[in-house]
Amino acid sequence: MAVAESALPDAAFAELEARRPVDRARHLPGYLYASEEVFAREKSRIFLKDWVCFARVEEVAEPGDYLTDRLMGEPFIVARDEAGALAAFANVCAHRGVEVATGAGNATGFSCPYHGWRYDLAGRLVGAPYMGEAEGFDPDRCRLRPLGLGVWAGWIFINFDPDPEPFARFIAEWDRTFAFLRLEDCRTADKYATEVDCNWKLVVENFVDYYHINTLHADTLGALKASAVELEVLKPGVLAGFYPHAPLNADGELLFGMMPWLAGRGEDFSGAGTLSPNMQMFLYGDNVQVSVAWPVAPARTRIELYSLFPEVFFGRGDFRAKIAAHAEMVAQIIEEDRDMVASLQRAMATRLFEPGRMCDMEGPVHHLINYNLDRIA
């Protein structure tokens, strides 16, 4: 059953102590992470309005390849047609709404398993049994509802809004800052997918929370040589920064040397970025880690963490062995975070939690908290 977002008073957002400057601010009260009403607002005002990072183009590389998924309950398909063009559309039959595809795979089209309506790889209706007798029925005006689709550096973004912000404008600042990474020339060496028992905002806040690294990640990230991290606000909800940090490997050394196009930047080259609402990047001299956060429920989030390396590295004889060790460390870091964000979420549902003061190291967290409040207020 749909939850009414109007049950939440707008005035409550303006009075929160998180609205103060970070040196006087407190964290948010628990209901903003646990409430069904807040989650409903975030669905309608953020995730069904904004460009959302979904997948890599290499996951739908060949004509006929397709992926299906749900965004906060809304089913959709991304497919590549015979000419190589990508399209996104609702996974909802134009007849009675049955899903016309499941999972992922390769197909020549999609067929509703209920009444046999058939669609091509662009979502156009190409067959509807016995509908020729329906007065005024025009198959050319009947199709799977199209969604917005944009591609940046090998990443697929989707948009559910009928009148979305132009993708070129949405991505412009991000592209100016990170195009030099040439992620379109990288491939996924490892993909770590899991679900965590917490609200999606706790995931994205955790990934810009540098205050916790030396404590929680003392034996992993915290053990690597690093400097203070400062992230610049490129525009509301979009953060970026560059800083010295040892490569993300147990020995603090590059696995395969620098990315060819980053040669000369120094082996401790590193940085990070957040593209709201759900994409975050962590870059090193030889690879880029990209986290995609996918809201499932108020207290449930799917995380997909991609490890991207230059395609030219994949032919090395030692590639798979080194990637296996690298993936093990990445998984360990995520598992360290898992217990903490789950504990945070449990606190959000207890009457005993009172929001504490922020540390000045939590500036990026403070920014994202206030950006997301602005979106739903």
Among candidates 94, 118, 121, 122, which has minimal Cα distance to 107? 121
Query: 132 versus 157: which is more confidently predicted?
Result: 157
Tokens representing residue 174 in the block: 């991000």
Amino acid in the structure at residue 293: A
Q: Check which CATH number belongs to the domain holding 284 and give it.
A: 3.90.380.10
pLDDT at position 229: 73
| DSSP 8-state class, residue 232 | E
**How many CA atoms does the CB half-sphere of 231 hold within 13 Å?**
29
Q: How far apart are the first and last CA of the chain?
A: 23
Average pLDDT over residues 322-344: 91
Are residues 191 and 87 both part of a single domain?
no
Which residue segment(s) compose the domain that 87 sits in? 52-164
* pLDDT band at residue 371 under the 50/70/90 scheme: very high
If asked whether residues 228 and 272 sit together in one domain, one would say yes
C-alpha to C-alpha distance for 198 and 195, rounded to whole angstroms: 9
Residues 241 and 361 in one domain: yes
pLDDT of residue 252: 82
Cβ atoms within 10 Å of 46's Cβ, excluding its own? 21
Q: Give the pairing of strands 238-244 and 65-71.
A: unpaired
97 pLDDT above the threshold of 70: yes
Q: Is 305 helix (H, G, I), strand (E, B) or coil?
A: strand
Between residues 201 and 265, which one has the greater pLDDT? 201
Task: Give the count of domains, the chain.
Answer: 2
Same domain, 186 and 291: yes
pLDDT mean across residues, the chain: 93
Residue 37 CB neighbours (<10 A): 16
pLDDT category at 246 given cuts 50, 70, 90 is: confident
For residues 50 and 14, the model is more confident at 50
Q: How confident is the model at residue 5 (pLDDT cuts 50, 70, 90)?
A: low
- Residue 194, pLDDT score: 96
Say what the pLDDT of residue 29 is. Answer: 95
pLDDT tens-digit profile of 184-226?
A: 999 999 999 999 999 999 999 999 998 887 787 777 765 545 4
- Assess if residue 19 is contained within a domain: no
Does residue 1 register a pLDDT over 50?
no
Q: What is the pLDDT of residues 115-146, one digit of tens each?
A: 999 999 999 999 999 999 999 999 999 999 99
Residues 337 and 202 occupy one common structural domain:
yes
Instruction: Give me the CATH number covering residue 79.
Output: 2.102.10.10
Mean pLDDT across 349-360: 94
| Opening angle at CA 339, ends 337 and 341, nearest 5 | 65
Q: Considering the domain boundaries, does residue 47 fall inside one?
A: no
- The verdict on residue 13 lying in a domain is no
At 68, phi and psi to the nearest 5?
A: -125, 150
- Residue 327's pLDDT is 93
Q: What is the pLDDT of residue 247?
A: 80
What is the tens place of the pLDDT at every residue in 159-192? 999 999 999 999 999 999 999 999 999 999 999 9
Greatest Cα pair distance in the chain: 72
Average pLDDT over residues 269-291: 96
What is the structure's pLDDT at 228? Answer: 62
